[in-house]
Each structure stands twice: as C-alpha cells, then as structure tokens.
Structure 1
C-alpha cells in the first residue's frame, strides 16, 4: 500500500534527475548548431574569453575565479529555488489538506442538519395534529369541562385530563426540542461554511504560490543545465592548460546527448511494456473516452482507497483524498477528461504533481509523478485520454504509484463511484 503526507521528501534527488533531463534537451539544441561562437548571456564567458585569458597568468587566474564563482552561483541558486519550491509545496498541501478535512466534516454536519430538520418537521406536524384534535374535542377547556361534570365521573375525568395534558405536553416539548436541535446544527453549519470558504481562499493562494516557486525552480534548473557543463569544460581547460575549443566541446557534448537519448529510449520501452502488461489485465488506463467523456487515468489495481486512514509515516488519522493506482514505474498517466492544466510542477509531499480543471466544474489531480515525467505545462489544454505524465514515487511515497484525486466544488470525492457513474471502471 502506498502512502503520502507532508513528512518525508525526495526533492533534491528529483531536481538532480530533472537537471539531467533538461541537460539533454538543452545541449541537444546546442549540438545541432554550427561550430560558430554561440551568443552566450552577457555574464557568461565565451570560449574566446577563455582563450584570451591565456595571455597572462593574472588574466587566467581571474578567469578561473570567475568561472568557479559562476558555477557555484548556479548551484546555490538551484538549491535555494528547490528549498523554496519544497516549502511552498508543503504549504499548499497543508492548506489543501485542511480544506479537505473541513469539507468532509461539513458534509457530515449537513447530513445531520437534514436529519434533524426532518425530525423537527415531523414533530411539528404531530404537535399541530394534536392541537387540532384537542380543539375539535374541546379538551382545550378542561377547567370548564370538570366544573360541569357529575361527581361520580369527576375522578375518571381528572385521570383522563391528566393523561391528555401529559401527552400533549410531551408532543409539544419534543417539537420544541427538535426545532432547537435543528436550529443549533444549522447555525454551526453556517459558521463552518464561512470557515470553509476562508480555507478555500487560503488553499487557492497557496497553490498559486507553489506554482510560482516550482516555475522558478524549473527555470533555475534550466539555467544550470544550459551553462554548467560548458563552464566546467572551460574551467578545466584553463586549470589544465588545455587548448580546448568550442568545436571540441560540441563533439563531446554530442556523445553525452546520444547516451542520454539511449537511456530515455530504454525507459520509454520499459514504460510501454508495463502499459502493455497492464492492458492485458483489463485495468489499462487511457483509450477511447466513455460516452460521458471520461477515461481511466492509469492502469494497475487500487493499492489504497479513499477515506480516513493512519499513514505509517505520520501515525495520525488523516483523510486520504483519492485512490492510489499501482501500474508500475514509468507507466503512462492519462488526463481523465478534457480540461485545462492549472498546476504542473513540484508540490511538497505530492512530489511532481498535475491538477486539471474540467468544463463541468470538477477537477482531477495526479501526484508522485516520476522525475522528468510531467509532459504538460500550466495553462495547457488537454483532451481525455491524452498522456500527461508517467508514474513515479516522488514526494512522500513508498513505491511507484499514481495518487489520483477528484474534486467537485473544491471538495474531494471518492474517484471510484465518481468514475463508475460516468461509465469508467476503476
């Protein structure tokens, strides 16, 4: 069974892996260029700058110091951006968890309000019916009845009057008690409604901040991937007095790119094989959407269901706001329905995470995506069954799986009956 909460992290490892992937993409573009001197950023030295620095020991020493400083700056920027992304991601998950649990409890309270209101209405109806009977029978003027009753029947009439009074008092008292109980629950629900709205605002803002921090971390990684290998090569050429050139650097870079591509192809083949095996089990994800426009988000069986549980990493009961599907590492993850990506990036204990808004007002979310496995970006339009990611175990996770969530009106829903109602088995 797979679990996640806000405890353990795999962020640094994830950023390093993402850096390698970004390096492949960026240096692939570099390797395809002509050997002409590229237009580096103004604060980065060109290969001509490195060659010029050989003119004197002082110039070479200054250039070495400059290169070392730039490499260190790239690293420190990535570390700081990573830490900020993890912190903001954890804040987002904490805010979302607080909202989810409050929404769940409010849902229970609403059910109690409905039951109490129905009981109050029933009691009020009985009280009204009793009052009508008393009115018709004249029992409401018991004093006058007793004054004009023969003495032989007085004790009998008194006994009946006492019972009538006890019965009517009981009915009326119960109606009042039920009304008060329903009113008290309704007032409590109103307070919790207001609190939930505030939690929703906090969670929404936390998600925006987490996306900004994730984007900043991705940008820092891209900057490092685009420049660090070249800077290190330039540094080595000066330290070892090697007359390296841009052309020689590109040759070596092509070799690295090809090796990375081969590794990526092997991973893709493994993912395809995993998907094929899952397809044979009848639990494959993706495929043609149902008539309602929904699909299964991935293959694999359910390893953890929706509901309250005690994760082994926390020891405290929390709401597991989705289902965990275990199709195997690197297996494809599909958009459960068409919509707009509103979050794509690192998100604390969720690891690499995607959230999609759908036209019907619902949302779906996909967590623990493998490093480098997010295939869409924030703001992108996706279609039902489109591959958006690959299964991983990033964030707080004990093994490769997809944590899949469904939200309606902002509150989590059990994905199993939700998808079943839309013609999708999960």
Structure 2
C-alpha cells in the first residue's frame, strides 16, 4: 500500500472514529444545563462541539463562531446582571416594607402604653375624688346656718368647719377635673393606637407581597447566574478549542472541570474550618433547641437609634454581633428558609421560619456567602452563611433578628429565655 493510500485510509478511519464518538456522546454537545434564558423572545441556542470542530477546520467559520460565542458570553453576563439588579431592587422594597411594619408596631405599642398609663391616672383621680367627697360628707351637718343659730357659742368651730369643707370641695372638684382630662387623654391615645393597628394590616399585606416578589426575583437571578456559570466555562473552552485548533473530548473537558471543582471545594472547606476555629462557635444547642448564631460580642442592640450608616433616626430591629469577616453564621434554631437574597440596607439576608409563629433573620452576609436556598430545611447549629459587611454596614458583623408574629423583637431577652446568651 503506497503512502497516499495509507494516508487516505487513516483519514477515513479517523472520520469514522469521530462519527462513532459523536454517536456515542463522547464528544461534548451544546445541550443546555437548566432552563435556558430568553434572548429576544427565543431560547438561547448554544453551538455544539461538532460546530466547534468544523470551525477548527475552516478559518472563516472559525471567525464567525468566535464572534457568536463572544456574543453569547456577553448575553449571559448581561442577563445575569439584569436579573441580579431586579432582585436587589425587590429586596430593597421588602426591607423597606418590613421596616415600616416594625416601626408602626413600635409606635402602636408606645401609644397603647401611654393610653394605659393615662387610664390608670384617671382611675386614681376618680378614687381620690370619691374619698374627698366621703370626707366632706363626714365633716358635719349639711345645714351649717341652722347649726350656727342653734349653737351661737360654737360659731368659731362651725366657721372653721365651713372653711375646711370649702377647701375639700375645691380639691374634689380639681381632682375630678384631672380625672376627666386623663380619661380624655386615654381615649385619644387609644384611638391613635387603633388607627396605628389598622395601618399595620396594610403594612403587613405590603410586606407579604414584597416578600413574594423578592423571592421570585431572587430565584430568577439565581437561575440567570446558574445559566451563566453552567455555560460560560463551556463557551470559553470552545473558544479556546477553536483558537488552539484542537478537539476537546468529554473526558478531558470533565476532568478539568472536576479538578477545578475539587480544588475549590477543598479551599472552601479549609476556609470554613479556619473561620469556625477563629469564631469559637460550637453550634451546640441549648436544651430548648436554640444556639448563638455567630461569634463576637454585641456591638449594637435593639431599639430606636441614629443609624451609623444613614445618620437617620430609625428602629434598629435586630442585635448586631461583631463576628469576623467570613466567619460562619449558624441557624439559631431549626426551621425552613423562607427568603435568601438581597434585602436593601440589610445587604444579603436569610430569613428562617422556625415554627410556632417565630422567625429569625440574618443580615449583611458576604457576597456569595449564602449557603442555603428558599424551601430548604435547616437544623439548629447548621452553617447557613458567612459574615460580611453588605448593605448599610460599616464593618463585618451579623445583624440578627428574632421575630414573633412577623414583628421584630429584642433578641437578647428572647434568646436568654431559651438559654442562649448573645
């Protein structure tokens, strides 16, 4: 067999092998991982590896393929960025709605407390006025003129009694007037508290709607990022294959992907172990099934304050724990994740429904540090995120909230009642 015939035979053999590999699925195809994003109303179409192989052999096709892949990469990044922007906006709306609800609840409680105090004062004044009225009745005859005529020798004593009764009457009238005023004040404050309570219903509905919108937007953003991650490395590998004029098989491609994933997982595990060691957290729950969510001491407590970031007086609905950057955030109790994503001034945020009308929130999580998803079941002490300084934050810390009936409450006594010291 001459050289040209052997070459032709070998070439045909390689083509048959390539066709067999393609038929067997050995060479990568352009199948899409997950749900494809929409581009101009149609699903994004990715080039297959057979397209790449053809492009390797034809310089003109190669240039077209490079342009197409580069455009797809740009579309992926653009879609992901747009989805993340929408998610951030919905998260901000959710945080504002929850803050308005918490502040209104706080004002309603203050008004009701003032109303209760005014009512107490009114009742005390009524009691005192009644006592004076009784004392006035015991001071003597109601007809002092007759007594004066009948007992002229006791005129001095009778006149003294008359003056004393006049004084008692003045005091009784004054105290009664105070009681009436206190009653009116109590009623006014009670009416204001009822108005505030009525407004709470609207605010609660808005917060619920905002939570649903934010959750949907965040899921869309995660899908966009997943789409980008799933296809970006493939497209870049295809570009490299075209430029290097080589064919990449499933085996070599997957080997590289697995190696990078393994290295990343090992690095993440090492970082988590170091962070856990530095924080001193054990994650061991108390007898009531609760645990401290992060390391560090309290740097800012619950209550009204001038926000160190916005410099505006507002309700600080949580308790800040000065944990170090990247250190673990643990689920304070077992439950179901009902939100995980951007949350306005709280930065990246996770909200867990812990059952019994109780929920816990974790804010300022580092970018990329959320380790759970909506609907996921978590156990007490499980790491759900890493500490960061996102949102309205001046340094790494955990903003920790405890909510009862959807309303934020002071986490220090709440956790203390469950055997946990923050």
Shorter-normalised TM range? 0.7 to 0.9
CA RMSD of aligned residues (A): 2.8
Per the alignment, residue 87 of structure 2 pairs with 85
SS in structure 2 of the partner of residue 425 of structure 1 = coil
2:181 to 168, 177, 183: 177
1:156 Cα offset (Å): 4.9
2:119 to 93, 113, 117: 117
Q: Kindly indicate whether the alpha-carbon contact (under 8 Å) linking 1:327 and 1:401 is maintained by their aligned counterparts in 2.
A: yes
> Is residue 414 from structure 1 mapped to residue 422 from structure 2 by the alignment?
no
TM alignment of 1:11-410, pairs within 5 A: 35-38=26-29, 40-41=31-32, 43-53=45-55, 59-134=61-136, 145-146=144-145, 149-150=148-149, 153=155, 156=160, 158-238=162-242, 240=243, 242-247=245-250, 248-275=252-279, 278=280, 284-287=281-284, 289-410=285-406
SS in structure 2 of the partner of residue 66 of structure 1 = helix
Q: Kindly indicate whether the alpha-carbon contact (under 8 Å) linking 2:321 and 2:398 is maintained by their aligned counterparts in 1.
A: yes
1:174 Cα offset (Å): 1.6
Q: How far apart in 2 are the matches of 1:226 and 1:301? A: 40
Unaligned runs of 5+ in 2: 1-23, 33-43
Q: How far apart in 2 are the matches of 1:412 and 1:257? A: 40
Per the alignment, residue 8 of structure 1 pairs with none
Per the alignment, residue 5 of structure 1 pairs with none
Change (3 A) 1:264 1:156: closer
Unaligned runs of 5+ in 1: 1-32, 279-283
1:255 Cα offset (Å): 4.2
Q: How far apart in 2 are the matches of 1:273 and 1:172? A: 67
Cα deviations by residue, 1:85-134 (Å, 9 ceiling, x for unpaired): 11111111122222222222222222212211111121222233444555
Q: How far apart in 1 are the matches of 2:105 and 2:67? A: 56
Q: How far apart in 2 are the matches of 1:90 and 1:253? A: 36
Comparing 290-299 and 45-54, the one that deviates more? 45-54
1:159 Cα offset (Å): 3.1
Aligned length: 382
SS in structure 1 of the partner of residue 392 of structure 2 = coil
1:186 Cα offset (Å): 0.8
1:422 Cα offset (Å): 1.7
Per the normalisation by structure 2, the TM-score is 0.81
Q: Kindly indicate whether the alpha-carbon contact (under 8 Å) linking 1:89 and 1:349 is maintained by their aligned counterparts in 2.
A: no
Q: How far apart in 2 are the matches of 1:96 and 1:316? A: 17
Structure number with greater Rg is 2
Change (3 A) 1:39 1:54: closer
1:179 Cα offset (Å): 1.0
1:185 Cα offset (Å): 1.1
SS in structure 1 of the partner of residue 123 of structure 2 = helix
1:246 Cα offset (Å): 3.5
Change (3 A) 1:418 1:34: farther
